Chain A
């Protein structure tokens, strides 16, 4: 699905990613954990093509294509979708406009016709119900005035509708109470298929109780310093990151 090789990236002249390697196969769920400043957010920014992040060397191959050569919107259409840590409020743009435009952009890429309005509305209502969201969400402006939990649920709702090949979830658990986290986790778990991959970036181990990953990586100082199965999360919870920091230095 995605192959990251020896990735180096800079932000405002400072090197943040220092030779990151990561490979995710179709159907796998990976989690990246790490202390503050390890480069977690930089990784998600580089993968989605945010401005201001300069890749100095290394490569990222997504489905056999050079991801770093693609524009932001091309990456999304190719099937890489980011769930934002801080979803953006966009006054005046209704959710329903965004969803329809996004879905049709993807369908166009696949050579399909635009979705018919009744089929679209049916799809939306079904997914809204699953995410325990009210139908009125559709006619509200994107994330405007949403609570933290509503914003994160909205991110997952978009995933359910746009069905990415690789869902990249950046601290999808931050700012959520336990009930909201369960709803979000249910949404993410429903995304799991034999073909779809998920990459979660998280600071907290608790999320992994609800979305159990196949592989856990520890990111420290711009590099993956340890990779293991879900038991690694418990170890981290008990011992913290310090023992790994020493190892990295």
Chain B
């Protein structure tokens, strides 16, 4: 913990006095008080943060933009977008593109938002995910300074997706970043937000991101969370969405690995007609550890949620899916569905799945189901009896399992990246492109 105290002192000492500085101090005190969840905290039962707690992460002093370009060359989905790129958490204007922003759209790095619109920005920070939320959120707040501010005006349909690229590369020492993403989508607006977490194989980085998203009446946000931080990197992600009446939040949540990835997703359905949908994939290999905790609060009548999560785990990978749905008293006519299907490709892979329903109303439709299995042997035999190699047959069946989730991705380059990654071990004799 000591290195955090030193890093924090250095980080906050030059800050101007005011709300933000004092909040950071309070947040750091909260972080020190709680400590990392090492000893049997229920919410962290299946995810061990000991290795994370032991490492000395520092804020990066300099960042290697050439290395960042290399990573982008290999894995960027290269959309026609409005984009902010962060290298080891630090805004990189050289790699970003904010030209041609529509008038009613604000996309800016948080550092600029704090300079230009301090009061507005502070008003949005910590409202949904404050320092009392949990230890990582407190730590994020203590180091608040980087991230993004996105505001969409009322009635705006934003044509190009907005991309936030969280990129990590190797530095002199293990580094950390604490981005905070603030999104306010105005009434009746519609927007697509892509967040791509990626890194080089050599990067040793800890990303501790918090996003606070507010959808006003009838707003629609489609969120593409594409997570592949690199085999030596940690990613702790909290996404908290507040939804007003008739708003829609659609999340394509694709997790392609990392040393340890933990997601906390919270949706507050605070207005009648509000709807949230999660469609997610965990694809783990080696000793990767991928953990999803979701929480949907049906706080008003006639609110809807659907969650479909699939996990494919190979080698010694471990997955956790904990999906919680709470239906408040008097929240009638709720429809909440949750399903979790898991495919274990090796004997040593493991999944812990736990759906939780807390229902305090009586006129509700809630369902959940979880299945775990291996590849279907009869299907495997059928494919091989047509001359397909064992490897190819397994690849096709694995891809088929993922497709229910992957097929829903409606931005073609993202779909392609996910499909080729999952099908990574397909021999090239099946060229999927020309079919």
Contacts and interface: CB of A to CB of B under 8 A. Distances in A.
Interface of A: 48-51, 71-73, 75-77, 81-82, 84, 87-94, 96-98, 100-102, 104-106, 108-109, 114, 117, 141-142, 158, 162
Nearest to A73: B384
B434 A72 contact: no
B396 A101 contact: yes
Nearest to A96: B435
B429 interface: yes
Contacts of B381: 50-51, 72, 88
B200 to A, nearest CB: 32
Contacts of A88: 376, 378-379, 381-382
Q: Which 6 residue pairs spanning A and B have beta carbons closest together?
A: A92-B400, A76-B387, A105-B387, A102-B386, A88-B382, A72-B384
Contacts of B430: 97, 100-101, 104
A172 B164 CA distance: 56
Interface string B368-410: 0000000011110111111111101100110111011000000
Contacts of A48: 385
Interface residues of B, number: 29
A191 B389 CA distance: 25
B432 interface: yes
A91 B384 contact: no
A98 B383 contact: yes
A7 B434 CA distance: 45
Nearest to A50: B381
A187 to B, nearest CB: 17
Interface in B33-80: none
Nearest to B389: A73
A142 to B, nearest CB: 8
Given A92-B400, A97-B435, A76 B378 contact: no
A105 B403 CA distance: 24
Contacts of B376: 88, 90
A98 B399 contact: no
A93 B378 contact: no
Given A105-B429, A117-B434, A93 B384 contact: no
Nearest to A142: B382
A91 B382 CA distance: 13
Contact of A84 (B382, B396, B401, B434): B382
B432 A98 contact: no
Given A88-B378, A101-B392, A105-B429, A82 B385 contact: yes
B387 A100 contact: no
A94 B392 CA distance: 14
Contacts of B403: 92
8 contacts: A76-B387, A90-B382, A90-B397, A92-B401, A100-B430, A102-B387, A114-B431, A162-B387
Interface string B342-385: 00000000000000000000000000000000001111011111
Nearest to A93: B400
A97 B378 contact: no
A82 B378 CA distance: 14
A92 B385 contact: no
A31 B389 CA distance: 30
Contacts of B429: 101, 104-105, 108, 114
A145 to B, nearest CB: 15
A51 B386 CA distance: 16
B281 to A, nearest CB: 13
Contact of B385 (A76, A104, A117): A76
B396 A93 contact: yes
Contact of A102 (B388, B399, B435): B388
Contact of A97 (B382, B396, B404): B396
A92 B423 CA distance: 13
A119 to B, nearest CB: 12
B422 to A, nearest CB: 12
A75 B393 CA distance: 15
A105 B382 CA distance: 15
A75 to B, nearest CB: 8
A94 B385 CA distance: 16
A97 B397 contact: no
Of listed B376, B377, B387, residue having the most chain A CB within 10 A: B387
B405 to A, nearest CB: 11
Contacts of B404: 92
Nearest to A91: B400
B237 to A, nearest CB: 28
Nearest to A80: B385
B280 to A, nearest CB: 17
Of listed A51, A87, A98, A109, residue having the most chain B CB within 10 A: A98
Given A91-B400, A105-B386, 10 more contacts: A50-B381, A51-B381, A73-B385, A76-B384, A90-B383, A92-B399, A98-B388, A98-B396, A101-B429, A102-B386
A72 B385 contact: yes
Contacts of A162: 386-387
Nearest to A158: B386
Nearest to A103: B387
A93 B430 CA distance: 12
B388 A101 contact: yes
Contacts of B377: 51
A81 B385 CA distance: 7
Contact of A90 (B379, B384, B389, B435): B379
A138 to B, nearest CB: 9
A105 B435 contact: no
A84 B397 CA distance: 19
Contacts of B393: 73
A100 B435 contact: yes
Contacts of A104: 429-430
Contact of A76 (B379, B386, B396, B431): B386
B387 A73 contact: yes
A76 B404 CA distance: 30
Nearest to B398: A92
Interface string B79-109: 0000000000000000000000000000000
Contacts of A117: 434-435
Nearest to B403: A92
Given A97-B432, A101-B430, A77 B387 contact: yes
A155 B435 CA distance: 21
